[in-house]
């Protein structure tokens, strides 16, 4: 009896030892920064002098005085996230399901092709997308439209307030096949084949019925992971606009300004770290709320 208890304790210590590195990294890079951001959000901090406590003043100013945030940044972020998040998620799931129907070699090649933009988005932004949306006749899109006679002179796409947000959405969807896409494809591939055989006996006769009644219910953990990753990626994606336009704020009319850009503007250009921390806390709350909605949808 004592020997079995001692063996169980050693197993517990081994389990804690394996979890410890992750727990340390999670605490250092997630928990501690969140605590510091919440703390700084109640201060006036210029990154040089010691922070001074101001209570809820930053939040009050954000919601009542920051017209740019309320009129441009918040609506832009919501529109961008509601299109890129669900759109990228649905697109990722459909691609994962379609690729799962292929044999191993073409599936692997196509999966790498779809996944690679999420890893090389920064390079592709400079090499590909800025050339496509270049504001002169050398730009691919301007050249095609002028040859077709649809426009008479080049359009400066990345500085035009009418086009910058749709362009950002297109680029974000193009690069949205990340780890969530891989997780969902793994969920489709690792489904229990016996369920499909039993369903065929019960009358499930086509792939669409298999998708609705077997595939999606059997891979809820992967679906939840993909949903959370899509939400986090959509709300935290502010680099696209800066890379396309080369400036922050994104265009003079803030047509492509997202919350992440607003945080960067106040924190690292105006050095109002306390106010930037308050904006980041609002962003964290928004991500948490949408993640809870996704968890409720895909809970058991």
pTM: 0.84
- What's the pLDDT score for residue 2? 56
User: What is the mean pLDDT for each group of 10 consecutive residues in the chain (300 residues)?
Assistant: 64 82 91 93 91 93 92 92 89 88 88 82 69 82 87 84 89 84 85 77 78 81 85 84 81 86 91 94 92 79
Sequence-distant contacts of 247-256: CB under 8 A, at least 24 apart: 250/164, 251/158, 251/159, 251/160, 251/161, 251/164, 252/159, 253/72, 253/161, 254/68, 254/72, 254/73, 254/76, 255/72, 255/76, 255/161, 255/162, 255/164, 255/165, 256/76, 256/164, 256/165, 256/168
Q: Is the separation of the CB atoms in 32 and 26 below 8 Å?
A: no
Coil, strand or helix: which one is 43? strand
Instruction: Judge whether 283 and 260 are in contact, CB under 8 Å.
Output: yes
The pLDDT value recorded for residue 35 is: 94
Residue 122 pLDDT: 61
Per-residue pLDDT, 220: 82
The Cα 96–Cα 234 span in angstroms is 19
- Buried b / exposed e over 218-241, threshold 16 CB at 10 Å, is bbeebbbbbbbbbbebbbbbbbbb
Q: Could you identify the residue written with the tokens 């990228």? A: 88
pLDDT at 228: 85
CB 256 within 8 A of CB 165: yes
User: Cβ(169)–Cβ(261) under 8 Å?
Assistant: no
- What pLDDT score was predicted for residue 281? 94
- Residue 53, φ and ψ in degrees, nearest 5: -70, 130
Residues contacting 224, CB < 8 A, separation 6+:
294, 295, 298, 299
How far the first Cα of the chain sits from its last, in Å, is: 38
- Beta strand 43-44 pairing with 52-53: antiparallel
Describe the crossing of helices 74-100 and 164-174 by its angle, rounded to 10 degrees: 30
State the maximum Cα–Cα separation within the chain, in Å, rounded to a whole number: 88
- Write the DSSP assignment of 69-88 as a string of letters: IIIIIHHHHHHHHHHHHHHH
Give 79's Cβ-side CA count (13 Å radius): 17
């Amino acid at each position: 009896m004592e020997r079995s208890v001692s063996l169980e304790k050693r197993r517990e210590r081994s389990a804690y030892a394996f979890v410890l590195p992750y727990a340390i990294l999670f605490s250092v890079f997630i928990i501690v920064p969140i605590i510091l951001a919440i703390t700084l959000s109640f201060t006036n901090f210029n990154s040089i002098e010691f922070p001074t406590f101001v209570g809820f003043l930053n939040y009050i100013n954000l919601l009542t005085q920051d017209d740019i945030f309320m009129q441009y940044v918040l609506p832009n972020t919501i529109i961008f996230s509601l299109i890129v998040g669900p759109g990228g998620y649905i697109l990722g799931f459909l691609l994962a399901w379609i690729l799962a129907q292929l044999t191993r070699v073409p599936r692997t090649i196509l999966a790498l092709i779809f996944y690679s933009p999420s890893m090389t988005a920064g390079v592709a932004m400079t090499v590909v997308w800025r050339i496509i949306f270049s504001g002169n006749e050398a730009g691919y899109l301007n050249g095609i439209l002028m040859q077709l006679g649809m426009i008479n002179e080049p359009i400066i796409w990345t500085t035009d307030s009418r086009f910058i947000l749709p362009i950002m959405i297109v680029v974000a969807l193009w690069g949205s096949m990340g780890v969530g896409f891989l997780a969902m494809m793994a969920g489709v591939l690792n489904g229990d084949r016996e369920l499909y055989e039993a369903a065929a006996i019960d009358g499930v006769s086509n792939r669409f019925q298999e998708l609705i009644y077997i595939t999606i219910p059997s891979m809820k953990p992967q679906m939840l992971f993909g949903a959370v990753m899509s939400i986090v990626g959509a709300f935290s994606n502010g680099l696209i606009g800066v890379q396309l336009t080369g400036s922050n704020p994104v265009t003079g009319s803030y047509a492509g300004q997202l919350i992440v850009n607003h945080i960067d503007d106040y924190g690292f250009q105006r050095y109002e770290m306390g106010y930037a921390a308050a904006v980041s806390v609002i962003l964290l709350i928004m991500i948490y709320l949408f993640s809870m909605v996704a968890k409720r949808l895909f809970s058991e």
